Amino acid sequence: MSTEATTPTRPVTLTKTTLPAMIVLGRREARRILRSPIFVGIVAIFLLQVGLGMALTRSWPDGLTRDALYDFIGFVLLLYAGILTYAAAHLVTSSARRTGAEPVMASSPVDARSRGAALCLGVVLGPGLVTVALTLLMALLGNSVTLDDGAAYSVAELVQLPVIIVGGGLFGVLTATWLRFPGSLPVGLVVLVMGTITVGSAPQNADAGRPWFAPYSSAVNWTDNTWTLTGSQAWHATYLVGLCLLAVCGVLLRERDDRHRWTLASAGVLALVALAGWAQL
Amino acid sequence: MTATVQVTELTKRFNRTQALAGVTTNLTSGVTGLLGPNGAGKTTLLRILATVLAPDGGSVRTLGLDPTKSTERTQIRRSLGYLPQEPGFQRGFSAFEFVDYIAILKEFNRARERHDEVRRVLDAVDLSSVSGKRVRALSGGMRRRVALAAALLGDPALLVLDEPTAGLDPEQRLRFREMVSQAGEGRAVVLSTHQTEDVAALCQDVVVLHEGRVRFQGTPTELASVANGHVWFASERDPAATIAWRTSEGLHRHLGEPRHGAQLVEPTLEDGYLLLIGRRIEAVA
């Protein structure tokens, strides 16, 4: 019986941390999220909607003008993109569990926490960058649009658009990471939508500041509510970024190893969210 | 003399089931077969060796490293290939994409090197021609080879294979044996199986697990010799035998304590294994 220990003969140079692999994985997860059938299907629906809109010339009597495009992008980002990103990110995150691929992944050097971080990075690099590009397009169009129903979005309002889409995706990663049972996608979706509607609904006298705490855009153009005139759009954007970071901390806290460090980080982020939440009012 | 894996008094419990009840063994380079009936603790032991599962008690040292320490566990995983009992594959992945995805998890960060490595391991398991096909469209045997290819990434020092030949037809099993045999040259391979023929054909060392304990460790020849003087043929079934079955020649092959004058025959590894496990079962009954 031979008793000599063997040593690995890998064709690559090993690094001290798994961070580079996590970044490569993040790029791969971004592609997986964007290639999700949800996105592919919905892009087809949007293209159809654009085609129909132009054909029927009801929504856009003058065709796809700058104003129509500006409105359309804003409408899509505010109404659909967050929920779709949530669903796509949830499906990608839970795919290993649903298909039984976890054991192979669990024995790799890139551990579960790094894989969770890579999924969060994937949300930012995938839907996040696409939304940033669309928002930049809106910013360019904003200089020349003459909208019937209000002014163009301010910079702080535009910044909120990619943040809420990224937030939707991060919430998808968070729920799939913690709620490891079939049907967690619709459960998380109901919590996301109903929570947003409940918190963000039209203010009553006593709680005029409440809608600011909804994980959603406070753009005047979109909400058409007078409460938005009394707070800070920039601080609301900061508040939304804080919620995104809180979701990332929630994903990283799933693993027990070295949890105290991430608990401290989460406390710091929570303080930021509280500060921004107060400052936005 | 250093063992690749040193396992000492390992215990693991799942609710009321004691999966491992103090396993102690050393695994060295070459192919080691884990034999045992269902529920013996083979998969639990392999999952612990693959760092997928943490034990309740006892210790494991793999390649001289302690898997309970985070940094050392990462180092072990860098030198480890694992084929689970029922490998799963994400939907929509082709064979190449799946192995490529696992290669990223194994820190092949540069695309060109990674793709070269993926092509190498797919070629090693003879799947180059179907690398672009969806994994879910492949046959069961091909899927297991895809999973084996993923386990071979990075030329790991330790390969952990959980029932690699389960569900394969005879031709695929022979092909698999060839691949595992090649993989076992210059590294440690631990494989669990119900197939004693696989152990006899492949393994330099055998560990028999039963009810969460090591019942035997030695060479296949030593396991066969457990049944020396305990295997005999007779034209009629002998009620004194522990186990007996009718062979294709019409004779009855018996394991147990032979009567005086019985026609003793040379035992096989399967005889040794059956006698070992049979005695235990008999003792419990």
**How high is the mean pLDDT of chain A?**
82
Of B275, B236, B232, nearest to B253 (Cα)? B232
Cα(B130)–Cα(A56) distance, rounded to whole angstroms?
A: 48
Whether residue A215 lies inside any domain: the answer is yes
Q: Strand, helix or coil at B217?
A: strand
Whether residue A14 lies inside any domain: the answer is no
DSSP B81: E
Does the beta carbon of B167 lie under 8 angstroms from any beta carbon of chain A?
no
Average pLDDT over every residue of A234-239: 91
Which tokens hold the place of A165? 């889409």
pLDDT tens across A123-177, in order? 999 999 999 999 999 888 877 766 655 667 888 889 999 999 999 999 999 999 9
Q: Where residue B284 falls among pLDDT bands split at 50, 70, 90?
A: very low
Average pLDDT over every residue of A25-41: 91
Which has more confidence, B168 or A141? A141
* Residue of chain A with shortest Cα separation from B188: A6
Does the beta carbon of A21 lie under 8 angstroms from any beta carbon of chain B?
yes
Of A89, A101, A48, nearest to A72 (Cα)? A48
Distances (CA, A) of B240 to A15, A219, B253: 63, 88, 12
pLDDT-wise least confident of B3-17, B110-124, B149-163, B251-265: B251-265
Cα(B97)–Cα(B277) distance, rounded to whole angstroms?
A: 43
pLDDT (0 to 100) of residue A229: 63
Exposed / middle / buried, residue B55 (Cβ in 10 Å: 0-12, 13-18, 19+): buried
Could you list the residue range(s) of the whole structural domain that residue A196 is in? Answer: 19-279
Average pLDDT over every residue of B162-188: 84
Whether residue A2 lies inside any domain: the answer is no
- Distance of residue B170 Cα from the nearest chain A Cα, in angstroms: 26
pLDDT-wise least confident of A57-66, A123-132, A159-168, A259-268: A57-66
Whether residue A8 lies inside any domain: the answer is no
Whether residue A12 lies inside any domain: the answer is no
Whether residue A5 lies inside any domain: the answer is no
pLDDT-wise least confident of A89-103, A112-126, A151-165, B210-224: A151-165
When divided into structural domains, chain A yields a total of: 1
Does the beta carbon of A108 lie under 8 angstroms from any beta carbon of chain B?
yes
Q: In chain A, which residues have their Cβ closer than 8 Å to the Cβ of B219?
A: 1
| Tokens 């063997």 -> residue | A6
Whole-model pTM? 0.87
Whether residue A1 lies inside any domain: the answer is no
- Distance of residue B62 Cα from the nearest chain A Cα, in angstroms: 10
Whether residue A7 lies inside any domain: the answer is no
* Residue of chain B with shortest Cα separation from A27: B104
Q: Where residue B222 falls among pLDDT bands split at 50, 70, 90?
A: very high
Assess whether pLDDT exceeds 70 at residue B133. Answer: yes
- Note the helical H segments in B194-239: 196-202, 220-225
- Surface of B (216-245) touching A: CB under 8 A: 219
Assess whether pLDDT exceeds 50 at residue A12. Answer: no
Cα(B226)–Cα(B216) distance, rounded to whole angstroms?
A: 10
Q: Which helix (H) or strand (E) holds A85?
A: helix A82-99
pLDDT (0 to 100) of residue A124: 97
pLDDT (0 to 100) of residue A204: 57
